[in-house]
Structure 1
């Protein structure tokens, strides 16, 4: 599945679905973003069960501000609507594949328990 362009209009619906969603915050003028783009696109074609979306930070400045994007590219991973990863910097293919496997392997019951415990304090 090819990457999807995400905007303020479709972002919440996209990340709110069950399953795994990878989001690449990028801009056309950003060299590391352009270097990461084919790696991200290749992964999107290899992992059709995962949603891969791209947010153009120039066109979607409000969305970038909402997620406090200060450096691009920034990669975010959501699982069942919960952000489980957010970090700036371009990844290599092997690193991205490790992150994909890590997202698949997450014990979401444990993640939800940790969130509940954190919110109690």
Structure 2
């Protein structure tokens, strides 16, 4: 584990909205320093939590989905379950905060 599913505008519905597991979707960009800072934290969490799909979507390449969910700042994490957004985290959050959130989501 510890790997991310790549989400695009074209596979968003199938990969995220129709997933049988909760999906933590990371809105990010290559040029974003805080996004790069969050990547190892998210990979570590992904390795520990099999009950959640960890996914990434590049905001520059997938503007339809980015705009649909009103993402104005990155990194932004959205937790989806059964096609709905259950939680949001904007900005580079501390690892312990994310661990608490992910643990709660996984239960």
Scaled by the length of structure 1, the TM-score of the pair is 0.79
CA contact (8 A) 1:18 1:81 kept: no
The aligned length equals 105
SS where residue 35 of structure 1 aligns? helix
Paired residues of 2:49 and 2:106 also in contact (CA < 8 A):
no
Does structure 2 conserve the Cα–Cα contact (< 8 Å) formed by 1:79 and 1:103? no
Task: Find the counterpart in structure 2 of residue 12 from structure 1.
Answer: 13
Separation (CA, whole Å) in 2 of partners of 1:99 and 1:53: 16
- Give the aligned partner of residue 109 of structure 1: none
Q: Which runs of 5+ in 1 are unaligned?
A: 106-121
Distance in 1 (CA, whole Å) between partners of 2:11 and 2:50 is 19
- Give distance in 1, aligned partners of 2:29 and 2:66: 11
1:60 equivalent to 2:62? Answer: yes
Q: CA deviation at 1:18?
A: 2.2
TM-score by length of 2: 0.89
**Which one has more relative contact order, counting CA pairs under 8 Å at least 6 apart?**
2
Q: Which runs of 5+ in 2 are unaligned?
A: none
Alignment of 1:33-52 (within 5 A): 33-52=35-54
**1:76 CA drift (Å):** 0.3
Runs of 4+ in 1 over 6 A off after TM superposition: none
Larger radius of gyration: 1
SS for the counterpart of 2:36 is: helix
Q: Which position in structure 1 is the counterpart of 2:104?
A: 102
